[in-house]
Amino acid sequence: MFSLNGIDLTDDARGWAFSYNSQPLSALAFDRVALTRPGRDGVLPLPAGARAEAPAIPLEVVLTESGLDALAALFGSPALLLDWDGREVDCELMSFAPLHEGGDGEVVTVAILLRLSSVYWRDPAVTTSAAIVLGTNSVNVDVLAGLTGPVRDAIVRVAGGCSDLKLTGGDGSWIAYPTAIADGDYLRIDTESGRAWLTSADTWTGGTEVTGLLNNGPGSYPLSIIPTFTDPAVRVGRIVVTSTARTTASIEVRGRRAFSV
């Protein structure tokens, strides 16, 4: 089932019918830099990885001509959020082409091309993991089970106390906070912006900004949570958390799963 901005694209009252000629499963292509060395075979892998190019999805809606203006108004909205069976993605309208069918001109097929601006389908709702105790020097924190794409906008919150905190993603990206987190304090890190705040209360907002104390690298994103698995049918997003001088330290992750198009 498809909807746009919460409005179903199959709606008998509006005379709309979503066409199975649509192709919601699009190709995901990557732009990779080729770094070569004279006399050496192949290319050198780069720590920054590759940039996923914005894919396009062709859709078709069959409708009576009387419903065309409403459909054009919907797809002409300044912001578009496409939903497909409980997964959503931000997109942009690239073309909207009505084609008459039949002799009376009453039935119209509209060919629509959408470009995905967020690249990956996402869960509509944010979920928060259970608190995981940081009981040893290195702890595997598995969250967002079932994801197939990278999550780079999660919020990570670590409850003190501990020192020399470091979060490492499956692609080698990492964020470190070398300053001690006292018992009763919470360090909250936005993995998309690379900003951090310290609070003395159990909250996910506010606090004293401590971004200047963070270190991170390598790559274009501060921290990526990517699918990790032994069996590809059973996937989790893993963060390896290292720390020292722990007392009651624990970690929670708040975010939305990502899925390849």
Q: Are 77 and 172 contained in the same domain? A: no
Side-chain half-sphere CA neighbours of 148 within 13 A: 11
Q: Are 115 and 214 contained in the same domain? A: no
Q: Are 27 and 131 contained in the same domain? A: no
119: alpha, beta or left, given left = phi > 0 and alpha = psi -120 to 50?
left
Residue-level pLDDT at 133: 97
Residue-level pLDDT at 215: 95
DSSP string across the chain: -EEETTEES-BTTTTEEE-TT---S----EE---B--TT--S-B--TT--EEPPPEEEEEEEEEGGGHHHHHHHHTSSSEEEEETTEEEEEEEEEEEEEEESSSS-EEEEEEEEEESS-SEE-SS-EEPPPEE--SSEEEEEESTT--B-B---EEEEES-BEEEEEEETTS-EEEE-S-B-TT-EEEEETTTTEEEEESSS-SS--EE-GGG-EEESSSSS--B-EE-SSTTS-EEEEEEEEES-SS-EEEEEE--EE--
Taking the complete model, does pTM exceed 0.85, yes or no?
yes
Q: Are 90 and 142 contained in the same domain? A: no
Residue-level pLDDT at 47: 61
> How far apart, in whole angstroms, are the C-alpha atoms of residue 190 and residue 19?
40
The ranges of the chain with pLDDT < 50 are: none
Q: Are 137 and 234 contained in the same domain? A: yes
Q: Tell me the CATH number at 64.
A: 2.40.30.200
Residue-level pLDDT at 49: 66
Q: Are 138 and 229 contained in the same domain? A: yes
Domain boundary among 91, 119, 147: 119
Domain carrying residue 141: 127-259
Cβ proximity of 247 and 183 under 8 Å: yes
Q: Are 85 and 61 contained in the same domain? A: yes
Q: Are 183 and 212 contained in the same domain? A: yes
Q: Are 153 and 83 contained in the same domain? A: no
Residue-level pLDDT at 83: 94
Residue-level pLDDT at 69: 93
Cβ proximity of 133 and 249 under 8 Å: yes
Number of domains making up the chain: 2
Q: Are 91 and 162 contained in the same domain? A: no
Domain boundary among 92, 119, 146: 119
**Integer-rounded Cα radius of gyration of the chain:** 23
Q: Are 144 and 250 contained in the same domain? A: yes
Per residue in 201-223, pLDDT (tens digit) is 999 999 999 999 999 988 788 99
Q: Are 105 and 181 contained in the same domain? A: no
Structure tokens at 145: 């089970």
Residue-level pLDDT at 102: 58
Domain boundary among 82, 102, 119: 119
